[in-house]
Amino acid sequence: MALDYRKCAEEIVSHIGGRENVAQAAHCATRLRLVIKDNSKIDKKALENVDGVKGMFENSGQLQLIIGTGTVNKVYDEFLDVTGMTAATKDDVKAAAAAKQPAWKRALKSVGDVFVPILPAIVASGLMMGVVEALGKAIPSFASTDWYSFLDMVANTAFAFLPVIVAVSAARVFGGNIFLAAVIGLMMVHTGLLNGWNVGSEDAINSFFGITTGKIPTWNLFGNFKIGDYVVGSISRHGYQGHVIPVMIAIWFMSKIEKWLHKHVNEMIDLFVVPIVTVFCTALFTFVVIGPIFATLENYVLKGAEWLVQFPPGAMLMGALYPATVVMGLHHMYNVIEAGMLSSVGLNTWMPIASAANFAQFGACLAVGIKCRQAKLKTVAIPSSMSAALGITEPAIFGVNFRFMKPFVFGMIGGACGAVFGAITKIGATAYGVTGIPGYLTIDNAGIYTVLLLISGGIAFLLTMLFWKEDNGEETGDIASKASAKASDEKAPAKDDKAGEEIVAKTVISCSAGEIGQPTKGKIIPYTEIKDETFASGVLGEGVGIEPDEGVVYAPMDGEISSVAESKHAIGITGAEDMELLIHVGVDTVEMKGDGFNTLVAEGDKVVKGQKIMEFDKAKIKAAGKPDTVVVLLTNSDDYEDLKLS
């Protein structure tokens, strides 16, 4: 009897909480992909009994209903007609699923997404800047050579134009035009504006603008109209070198404006109207709104820091908060404090505080580089930590510590401890502009300074080694994920699982997106020979079956745990290029209700290839009368034309 597509769609809608509970809907070759607003409204048992639904699972925030090839598109058409929804792509559904995450987590992810592509540039530049500056301080005669000037130019280019690089990357993340974004980034470091690193220097201000007041002139676009003390439309004529957050906010705003204009401007005039209006509106927003906010913030931070560093508790607080000001791009203004100290008392006691904060970020980043097993992360973390040791912390903070959050926090703790030690011992420097290892060239007591670096870097290093885990949800900054943390802390696998690495070395599934290893030791069989019609038909995706020799499952690829069955018998992993993998232990083992299964990961955890993720009792599965075949399926195998199976 032919399937009644209309009835199937109507029943699906009724069991998922109705049209109002669906955010997005799309389909692939075999599955209906839905993003649900409130999962508590789903009647899963009823859904599984709908005629035409051959199975269901949740993956990456999506409810996926298995309908079958040649049928799913017809059910989908009826689904759209019943709900009144418009067709969406799989990318639309993925975006909608991601949008369900908390706002703070989406924001933190955006920072990571922006910085990951530009890491090679800032890591290389940061490390080179540290080396060049250290050589210049160690060998004064070298600092006056042409070679020094050339190397200094090469090294600091990425940081001098960091807003441009960040703007282009942010446009890719937020969906804006990368060339318009580049214009905004260039505008923020325009040569007609005072270099942002000189905003606190009266000499630099006077020299640049040809004045004697020591105050940065403004452009008052709307005259002297005031609201309180604020002159509406006033623009301080300085750039944003070294700033990150203002650039990202500006490009986010630009992308929103551009998309809105594309939807509302007639196609005939879109080509020249949209770019002009987008750039003009973004420029106004950036310099009129963001500018005053950050200028005010800089003043408050500067005055607060000047007052706080007079007392050990204040020094401890600034040692902790210093990395946060690096994230906001406000740390360059501290040169004003240092210059003031040198002119008034002849000793720069701010330098040990900054050095403690920077060296702590070095310690945390180094621990990540040593502890992690992902080759790509290790190649970023180790050089970034070296750069931080030389006083250039941006690569370590943006490339590693802030992305994973816990190392960043541990660095703040280490910085606080080192800073209070520096304040108590009253050490200081005879110059400013260098921290970390190059700081030995200006510090007044090398022995105490060594202890300060050991305290700050050592505490951050130890905390990160002890409490940061590469395989839990905290790697994406989710420090509030109690369930994930508990699962990782209580059931974390051994760090060096050689058996797992050897087993998964054999590839069982490969495609253009990557390779999937063998998750458990045993005989490999074609998925068509699995003793279950749903698995054998390929409706859930193509893959392999494994007759296991032992009751252990290892992660067959790097990725994120997208789902863990309540009955603990199945785990979903999302890998590179959105590969969606399902590892299902046994056939009909859901009926065992978790007896004999022990999952070692939780949804949202990051896993690395070869990491132990599940244990199961072969004897209990056999006693229950169930096959113990480990099913390994790429559930979106229809997305890949070059799929190869072992």
Which residues have a catalytic role annotated? 28, 584
Q: How many residues does the chain have?
A: 646
Whole-number Å distance between alpha carbons of 275 and 262: 10
Apex CA 380: angle with CA 251 and CA 245, to 5°?
20
- Three-state SS annotation for 574-599: ECHHHCEEEEEECCCHHHHCCCCEEE
Whole-number Å distance between alpha carbons of 525 and 585: 14
Whole-number Å distance between alpha carbons of 62 and 53: 16
β-strand pairing of 542-548 with 644-645 = unpaired
For residue 484, the SS3 value is helix
Long-range contact set of residues 181-184: C-beta below 8 Å, sequence gap at least 24: 181/251, 181/254, 183/279, 184/247, 184/250, 184/251, 184/254, 184/279, 184/282, 184/283, 184/286
Classify residue 614 by its DSSP letter.
E
Whole-number Å distance between alpha carbons of 30 and 639: 11
Beta strands in 425-578 (DSSP E): 507-511, 514-517, 522-526, 542-548, 552-554, 559-564, 570-574
The dihedral through the CA atoms of 386, 389, 395, 398 has a sign that is: positive
Classify residue 136 by its DSSP letter.
H
Find out whether 144 and 151 touch, Cβ atoms under 8 Å: no
Using DSSP, how many helices (H) and how many strands (E) does the chain show? 25, 21
The dihedral through the CA atoms of 75, 76, 81, 83 has a sign that is: positive
Give residue for tokens 């598109």.
Answer: 73
Find out whether 356 and 455 touch, Cβ atoms under 8 Å: yes
Rg (CA), the chain: 29
Q: Which helix (H) or strand (E) holds 467?
A: helix 446-467
Find out whether 208 and 196 touch, Cβ atoms under 8 Å: no
Cite the DSSP H helix spans in 285-349. Answer: 291-308, 312-328, 334-344
What is the four-CA torsion angle of 232, 235, 236, 238, rounded to 10 degrees? 160
Classify residue 97 by its DSSP letter.
H
Strand order in the sheet with 644-645: 514-517, 507-511, 644-645
